[in-house]
Structure 1
């Protein structure tokens, strides 16, 4: 004979902590720490995307420019650590921590970074596709990307002027940039796909992070640097350093590095991660 399963509400009512019922404050703590459903995470990011698609062009431009300038601190910090540490096998394990600095500034300051919006801005388009949404997405991507690029080229030029930073830090930045310049277009493309995927993963994790947002940003961007992946905005800062310093030509810098990284990031963040993120909640959306 099977025994009936106890009612779920009765079970919850019977839960006790150290011999006494849970207090209201404890019940609130439990509610706050429950894991968000994938649909809830999706909806948080989708609504952010809706807001971004509706922002005025001027707002997108200035926010994107600020992000391009801020991301330069990733290269600056990496360069400083590169010069401060001995030339040992473990040096990349430490110097790559500097790569996270610019991302922490950009993401926590809510500045517009192109690789972030490859996920957030695509979800509203997948939800209910329309010509108007595709046009809004094209406007958002183009404005933010161009603003990011202008920010990185301005930051690179300012660093090369010799006014902002000590010479030894600039030497470290150039050394870091030379490593990126060694990539072939194919390598930049494929590593760009994985970098785009990891940034999209970061964006997907943030709604559930609560107080751990900084730790998630630090971990995921550190891994991008440690794995020597190709992020188009941070990477463009390194490319422009070498271009303006005369170490590489325009064809290699733009056609051989920035464009392959751009296409790879878009594929990793939009064509792969965004489609899979939407696919896992599509039936739940339709059920609602």
Structure 2
């Protein structure tokens, strides 16, 4: 076929056309498959492996409260302190994601895609097993780190006061606000998970930008928030009943809806629709043919 009629740039060799094709950003279907495979591997992990990784993630999330508190204490009285101290929120996410620890809100996307691709009772059972183990492990880790941060002589009084202020800010939300902000938070984390495979070299920047915006918007997150609010519980300012009913329950529901029922469902529907398109099927066949011919060299 003539290059003038097929839309390709004139004078390009077949090898150069293949190079241009390889340098294109991955299609949504490719990202979907990468995340689906990741989720399938997570669903196959043992309970013990999931548990200890989840506990480690809960402990790591203490870094977010620690960093925000340290920033806030040192920036007290300075205009725009919130803008700077919110950067500390990213610390826990960086530790958890780069160390590949189990974070509940990540699993609301990765582990859901295999179930959406093959919605069997067995897959639903595996999903519930993973969610329950990871959530329990995350919460145990966050409660433990909050207790240690409060009761051990680690921080000065200004930093301790900053930790309390951060938890109080969370508890200013009423139940419906916890739920609504949790939806946005879950959706933002799912967006981050979806973006990372296509921008692997910019992983740190993606994590920082997304989580920084979450902190600026005071969006509620079940794992980070558990560190902040349980710190208040151990300080005697909030009862466990308030922790579960006002914060944890609504926030958890919002995170699941934002990460799974909205983002994952829409993304899966997009890929499903694309795969059924004749144009996309033709493109997939062309890419497979290019891969088959890749070892060939042009003179």
TM-score (norm 1): 0.90
Query: Is residue 11 from structure 1 mapped to residue 10 from structure 2 by the alignment?
Result: yes
- The equivalent position to 1:179 in structure 2, one of 169, 173, 183, is 169
Query: Is residue 55 from structure 1 mapped to residue 45 from structure 2 by the alignment?
Result: yes
CA distance in 2, matches of 1:202, 1:33: 22
Deviation at 1:5? 2.7
- The equivalent position to 2:225 in structure 1, one of 215, 222, 235, is 235
1:177-219 deviation line (CA, Å, top 9, x unaligned): 1100111011100000000000000000001112100000000
TM-score (norm 2): 0.87
Partner of 2:135: 145
Partner of 2:287: none
CA distance in 1, matches of 2:160, 2:11: 61
1:247-272 deviation line (CA, Å, top 9, x unaligned): 01122111101111000000000010
Query: Is residue 216 from structure 1 mapped to residue 206 from structure 2 by the alignment?
Result: yes
CA distance in 1, matches of 2:194, 2:3: 40
Deviation at 1:172? 1.3
Q: 1:134 to 1:12 in 2, by over 3 A?
A: farther
Q: 1:283 to 1:250 in 2, by over 3 A?
A: same
Q: Is the 8 A contact 2:3 2:10 kept in 1?
A: no
Q: 1:109 to 1:33 in 2, by over 3 A?
A: farther
Q: Is the 8 A contact 2:187 2:262 kept in 1?
A: yes
CA distance in 2, matches of 1:120, 1:264: 17
Alignment of 1:1-288 (within 5 A): 5-7=4-6, 11=10, 13=12, 33-286=23-276
CA distance in 2, matches of 1:179, 1:228: 8
**Runs of at least 5 residues in structure 1 that lack an aligned partner in the other structure:** 16-20
User: For 2:72, what is the secondary structure of its paired residue?
Assistant: helix
Deviation at 1:174? 1.2
1:27-55 deviation line (CA, Å, top 9, x unaligned): 86x66642110101111001000000111
User: For 2:12, what is the secondary structure of its paired residue?
Assistant: helix
Q: 1:219 to 1:236 in 2, by over 3 A?
A: same
CA distance in 1, matches of 2:245, 2:61: 21
* Higher deviation after alignment, 166-175 or 71-80: 166-175
Deviation at 1:6? 4.1
CA distance in 2, matches of 1:154, 1:171: 19
CA distance in 2, matches of 1:12, 1:45: 38
CA distance in 2, matches of 1:32, 1:93: 40
Q: Root-mean-square deviation (CA), in Å?
A: 2.2
CA distance in 2, matches of 1:179, 1:9: 57
Deviation at 1:273? 0.4
Q: 1:31 to 1:171 in 2, by over 3 A?
A: farther
* Higher deviation after alignment, 203-212 or 169-178: 169-178
User: For 2:25, what is the secondary structure of its paired residue?
Assistant: coil
CA distance in 2, matches of 1:68, 1:191: 21
Q: Is the 8 A contact 2:4 2:10 kept in 1?
A: no
Q: 1:263 to 1:211 in 2, by over 3 A?
A: same
